[in-house]
Amino acid sequence: MEMSATRVIPAPLEKVWQGLNDPDTLKECIPGCESFTRETDTKWVAVVAAKVGPVSARFTGAIELTDVAPPTSYTMNFKGQGGAAGFANGEARVALSPAPGNQTSLAYTAKAQVGGKLAQIGSRLIDGVAAKLADDFFERFAARYGTPEPAPAAGHPPEPHFPRWLIVAAIVGLVATGWMLR
């Protein structure tokens, strides 16, 4: 599974970077997140309860950040296990850049492999759940910063897209990850 998208966050780049590195913020914004713990500056562990079609489970995932370039980019490697529900492994490259109106553009490209019962469900159902959970995450995250500032008269901010890699990561306990910038 491969995905890429861009999302505009209604806050300055530095503030978004800090928010996406705060375990309490991530736990609050990730749907079904029971815990989100920083083990070191580059290693995190998440526990997420999720349901995808007929499969419900508590997923535990390990996240390791590499190629960290504060406050603009990193690569996130994740491995998650949901018991009999299955597993997911993957990598996401995330980049932040200033957007009009003192906002931040977050772009990502992700690759993930899922196995077990999750793989048997099929990509259409997983993609649908991923889109819904991503929408919920961004709604919660953006709400922490208030409403976006108006765009300059010369143009409009890019249309938001919902990052499905975040949800796949969540489904395998690494959601956070989707948006766990370091």
The 3 state secondary structure assigned to 71-121 is CCEEEEEEEEECHHHCEEEEEEEEEEEEECCCEEEEEEEEEEEEECHHHHH
* Distance in angstroms (rounded) separating the CA atoms of residues 115 and 155: 43
* Distance in angstroms (rounded) separating the CA atoms of residues 113 and 104: 29
31 DSSP assignment: T
Pick the most confident of 47-56, 101-110, 134-143: 101-110
* Distance in angstroms (rounded) separating the CA atoms of residues 7 and 161: 5
Q: What is the pLDDT of residue 147?
A: 58
Closest by CA to 46, choosing from 182, 175, 178, is 175
- Domains of the chain from N-terminus onward: 2-179 (3.30.530.20)
The pLDDT of residue 106 is above 80: yes
The percentage of residues in the chain with a pLDDT greater than 70, rounded to a whole number, is: 76
Confidence band (pLDDT; 50, 70, 90) for 95?
very high
Q: Tell how strand 43-52 and strand 2-9 pair up.
A: unpaired
| 70 upstream amide cis, omega within 30 of 0 | no
Over residues 20-34, mean pLDDT: 88
Over residues 94-98, mean pLDDT: 93
How much is the pTM? 0.73
The percentage of residues in the chain with a pLDDT greater than 90, rounded to a whole number, is: 27
Question: What are 114-169's pLDDT values in tens digits?
Answer: 788 877 777 777 777 766 776 788 788 888 876 554 444 444 444 333 333 344 44
* Distance in angstroms (rounded) separating the CA atoms of residues 63 and 124: 25
Q: What is the pLDDT of residue 17?
A: 92
